[in-house]
Every structure is written in C-alpha cells, then in structure tokens.
Amino acid sequence: MKNINIICLGFMLLSVFSCSEGLEDLDGNPRNITDEQLAVDFQNVGSLYKPMFENIYQYTPPWSYQLQQNLNADVFSGYMTNPRPFVAGANNTTYNLVSGWNNFIWSVPYSNVMNNAKTIENETKDEFPELFAVSQILKVTAMHRVADVFGPIVYTKFGESATTSEYDSQEEAYNAFFTDLEEAIQILSDNIDSPRFTAFDLAYGGNYESWIKYANSLRLRLAIRISKVAPAKAKSEGEKSLSHPVGVIEANADSFFVNGTLDHPIKTINNSWGDIRMNASMESILVGYEDPRAESYFNMSEVVEGAFKGIRNGLPLLTGYDDELAQKADYITFSLLSDEVLTPSIQLMTAAEVYFLKAEAGLRGWTGAGGVQANYEQGITASFQQYSLPGVSDYISNTTRTPIDYVDPVTPANNIAALSDITIAWNEAATNEEKLERIITQKWIAMFPEGQEAWSEYRRTGYPKIFPVVSNQSGGVVDTDLQIRRIPFVDSELQTNPDGVANAVTKLGGPDNAGTRLWWDTPGGNF
C-alpha cells in the first residue's frame, strides 16, 4: 500500500507545486500587528499618542535622549555639564558639533510625533475632532522645540512627497503653530465633556479643560518668543490666551507633565553612567541666592564636601589628562542631579513658567496679563510649592544676594567671576531690561531641568548671564560670549533632501552654521 500512497502523493505534489496558490498569505510576521488587529479598541489611533507624549522630550532609551537634548540644550542652557570630554573634548559642548549626535534632535520628533500626528489627522479629523485637537497640541509642543533648534523646519508640507520635503521658514512655522493651537482650542472648547481621550492621556487624565489651559499657556510661550521680532502678532496671539475664558495654567496641578512609569532618562545618564553633572552657572546662581531649590535639584558634591559644585561649560580635554576617562574620573565627583527632580514625570511646562510669561507680557503692555510684580512673585511661589519648600517670602524679599564667582577645585584655570549682580527682590524702579533679567533668571531656575526652553529663552533675552564655554572649537563660527545660537541642519537631511535644505538655508537668512541667529533671535536690547 505504501508505494501507491507515495506515488499518489507524488502526483498530488506535482499538481500543487506548479502554481502559486497559497503563497499570498504566507508572507508576514504573525508576532507583529496588522492594521485589522490594531483597529480593535481604536488602538489604530490610541496607540499613537503614547509615543508622541514620550518623544517630545525623549523618555527612553536614555542614550538617545542624551544625544537629543542632554549633550545639547541641557548644556547650552547652563543647567548641566558633562564631566567626560567626549571625543577628546571635540564635541557639541565645545562647539565642535558632532553631526551624528544632532541627527537625534531632528529624527526623534519627526519619527514619533509628526508621523503619528499625520496618521491621527487622517483617521480622526472628521469623526473625532477632539482626538485630532489633542494631537495638534502635542505636535506644536514638539515641533516648536525643533524649530527653536534649527530655524526652518518641515511642518506645513510634511508628508506631501514620498521622497523629499519642503521646509517652512521659522516664521511660517510659528504662524502655523498659532493656527493649529487656535483650531485645537476651539475644537476642545466645543467638545469639553467628551471622555474619549481618557484612556490615552498621559498628562491630564482626559480632562479637556486642563488641555485648553495648557494650549493657551503654550500659545502665550510662543507669543512671548516672537515678541521682539513680530510684536503685533505676538501681542494679538498672547492676548487671545490671556483673555480666553478657560485661561492659562495657574496651579501646579495643571502643569504639563508627561507621566511615565520609567526612570527619568537623565537619572540613568546621571546616576548610572556618570555622564552629567551640575553646571557652574547653576552653582553660581543657586548658591549665590542661597536658593533652597538647590537641594531639590542637586546633591552636595564629593569634591568639595558639604558644598554644591558645578562644572564649567565646554571643557576640552584639559592639559594633564591622558584621556577622557582620566578627566571624567576627577569631574564625576562634582554635584549630581538630585533624584527629587528626576521623577518618572517629564516636566514640560509649569505653572511657575506661565506666571513668568505673564509677568513679561505685562512688562510688554499686553492686555489681561495682570501685575508684573505679582506675577513674578507668584511664579517664584509656584516653583517653591512645586518642591514643597518653605521660606518663599524671605526669598522673594531678599535684596542682597547675587550670583557668586565660580571656583573650579580641580582646574583653577577655569575659575570665573559672576557675570551679573542681579538680585531676587522685585524692584519696580528698575529699567525694563533689569526687570526682564530678574524675570528670566527666576524663570530659568524654575524651569530646571528642561533645558530646551531655557536655552531658547537665553538666546532670545540673553538671560540669565551664564558662563561662556572654556574651549570654543567652532573655528570662529560661534562667538564665545554670544554663545551658540542654533544647530546646523542635520546630515540625514543634507544627504536625502539637498534641494530642500538649500531652500531652507535661504529661509534661514544666514549661513547654515551654529552662529546664525534664528528668526526670533534679534540682536540688541529686549525693548
């Protein structure tokens, strides 16, 4: 019997083999998820929000965050410094820009935020507009940061071509941000009771009122950013927020945090890798002010026991050190960031910042801003409350403390005198410029550790007066005292989209290097 079976089987096989039947369904990986499977529970939309939340300020993996922001804005802002002089001291922090690092500033938000926003727009704009609205707010949150790094970005024409893309000028992008926020605020206001976003919301538990407050506050931030370059537009956009019935963020409970469950990325970089420490500017200002937030933000150093100790920006491979690791071994003993500030929640906008924005709005005469001094003091108070710190009234009224000179206990050549004698207490008699320095210095302290916004505001206002880099390896492109103004367009774009980048450079209005000022970054005084 066996033989017959084999013969039959043989002819059966012959007839089966010679066609392509059944091949279509074979290709694929059943461990992955298909579009049909993704539609269950509306995850085709819902699952897209988490990556958006977690990649505005990249949550994980830490090494990618390290390149996206930690070795860029977190250092340029004067918040932190790397104890290891990467690439033998020839790296971003010494203005010898490492293009491989900078790609992450660009690619992380594009791959995780812009893409997802586009899909959400396609799937929800007509049917569930409030889901689209939240996505638009997240998109503006991420992309204004990218524009604040590079200037022109791909925004309004995103996804229009399969192979290349056209940039908007920074002004066009900002105008689009305002349009998108306005639309989002309107949609949310119309659907304020919809519970649809609750399951996907990592910030406000699905509460659209909080989202509107955040969107208004974000619009105020962007309005203030362009207040010098486009004062009329700034005023009109800012006043829309200030006069909105739902208002802006006023309580810490409404601050915009992305609530995760993982360690803060800086926690790994700081504690495990020993790759980031307190910046000398932070030490100068916080210690000079005897600011109680110093203990919330940093640990006492090992190198000078019982004291906070920061590291100067832009350390090269110092003479006397054989290699990066030897130098790191000495500087790793400077102040770590405190675990208190490195919670699993990523801070992106606080009530304190909004009070300081209102203070500046008041200074610029915008309607609805309220009293400048009151907002300034409420900003400090909100920041103290955020860390449950006592003694805010003594602090606010202090008229004597100023930033202190910086001493490097390892390399005395790095010692530098404080660059400002700005005090804490409000002085109504001061010039607008001094008032702004006071506001921005306090805003800078309050926004820690979010370096991107701090660096943008430093470039716009020149405050606080943070220490320049020790070693400037930009070959004359970046002025040491003016400090770095932007990051050049990234390699991946230069290689894949050369025409788009060439056009973007004309919209930038200057050479594509780190010394060129962005659109909102105008030289001269702030008023």
Binder among 126, 193, 253, 261 for other proteins (CB under 8 A): 261
Q: How far is the CB of 54 from other proteins (least distance, A)?
A: 9
Q: Which of 206, 229, 259, 274 binds other proteins (CB under 8 A)?
A: 274
Shortest distance (Å) from residue 305 CB to other proteins: 19
Cβ contacts of 316 within 8 Å, gap of 6 or more: 85, 89, 90, 94, 470, 471, 473
**Residue number with CB closer to other proteins (261 or 388):** 261
Q: Which of 56, 62, 314, 356 binds other proteins (CB under 8 A)?
A: 62
Three-state DSSP at 216 gives helix
Work out whether 88 is an interface residue with other proteins (CB under 8 A).
yes
How far is Cα 459 from Cα 454, in angstroms, rounded to an integer?
Answer: 9
Long-range contacts of 462-465 (CB under 8 A, 24+ apart): 462/526, 463/436, 463/437, 464/78, 464/281, 464/285, 464/403, 464/420, 464/422, 464/437, 464/440, 465/403, 465/419, 465/420, 465/422, 465/437
Q: What six digits make up the tokens of 166?
A: 């056209």
163 interacts with other proteins by CB under 8 A: yes
Closer of 207 and 503 to other proteins (Cβ): 503
Q: Smallest gap, in angstroms, from Cβ of residue 275 to other proteins? A: 9
- Among positions 94, 124, 227, 497, the unique one binding other proteins when judged by CB under 8 A: 497
- The footprint of other proteins on this chain (CB under 8 A) covers a number of residues equal to 80
**End-to-end Cα, the chain, rounded Å:** 100
> By CB under 8 A, what part of segment 432-461 binds other proteins?
none
Distance CA 423, CA 250 (A): 25
**Closer residue to other proteins (CB): 432 or 492:** 492
Neighbours of 107 (CB within 10 A): 16
Output the DSSP codes for 440-490: HHHHHHHHTT-HHHHHHHHHHH--S-PPPPS---STTSS-TTT-----PPP
Nearer to other proteins, 22 or 365 (CB): 22
- Given the complex with other proteins, which of 31 and 232 has the nearer CB atom? 31
* 157 lines the binding site for other proteins (CB under 8 A): yes
CB of 501 to other proteins, least distance (A): 9
167 lines the binding site for other proteins (CB under 8 A): yes
Q: Which amino acid is at 482?
A: L
Residue among 182, 263, 295, 340 that touches other proteins (CB under 8 A): 263
Q: Which is nearer to other proteins, 87 or 374 (CB)?
A: 87
Instruction: Give the integer Cα–Cα distance in Å for 261 and 60.
Output: 11
Could you tell me which stretch among 104-112, 205-213, 382-390, 442-450 binds other proteins (CB under 8 A)?
104-112
Would you count residue 23 as binding other proteins (CB under 8 A)? yes
491 contributes a contact to other proteins by CB under 8 A:
yes
Out of 2, 365, 429, 523, the only residue in the binding site for other proteins (CB under 8 A) is: 2
Tokens 């005023």 label which residue?
Answer: 235
Q: Is 506 in the site for other proteins (CB under 8 A)?
A: no
The token pair that represents 391 in the structure block: 């003694």
- Asked whether the beta carbons of 277 and 81 are under 8 A apart, the reply is yes
165 binds other proteins (CB under 8 A): yes
**Binding residue for other proteins, selected from 251, 329, 413, 482, defined by CB under 8 A:** 329
Nearer to other proteins, 25 or 193 (CB): 25
Q: Shortest Cβ distance from residue 120 to other proteins (Å)?
A: 13
Let me know: does 345 contact 259? Beta carbons within 8 Å: yes
Structure tokens at 80: 């932190």
- Classify the C-alpha dihedral 69-151-167-143 as positive or negative: positive
Contact of 451 with 76, CB cutoff 8 Å: yes
- 236 makes contact with other proteins (CB under 8 A): no
* Pairwise CA distance, residues 133 & 183, whole Å: 7
Structural tokens at position 39 = 């539609």
Q: Does 158 bind other proteins (CB under 8 A)?
A: yes
Q: Which of 115, 194, 252, 402 binds other proteins (CB under 8 A)?
A: 115
Report, in Å, the least distance between residue 414 CB and other proteins. 18
Token pair of 72 as six digits: 């860029």
Name which position in 27, 126, 305, 428 contacts other proteins (CB under 8 A).
27
By CB under 8 A, residue 32 contacts other proteins? yes
Stretch touching other proteins by CB under 8 A, among 9-17, 208-216, 295-303, 357-365 = 9-17
Q: Can you tell me whether residue 362 is helix, strand or coil?
A: helix
Give the pair of three-digit tokens for residue 248.
């802006």
CB of 180 to other proteins, least distance (A): 17
132 forms part of the interface with other proteins (CB under 8 A): no
Tokens coding 265: 């990325």
Q: Using the rule CB under 8 A, which residue among 42, 51, 296, 368 binds other proteins?
A: 51
Q: Which stretch binds other proteins (CB under 8 A): 30-38, 283-291, 348-356, 415-423?
A: 30-38
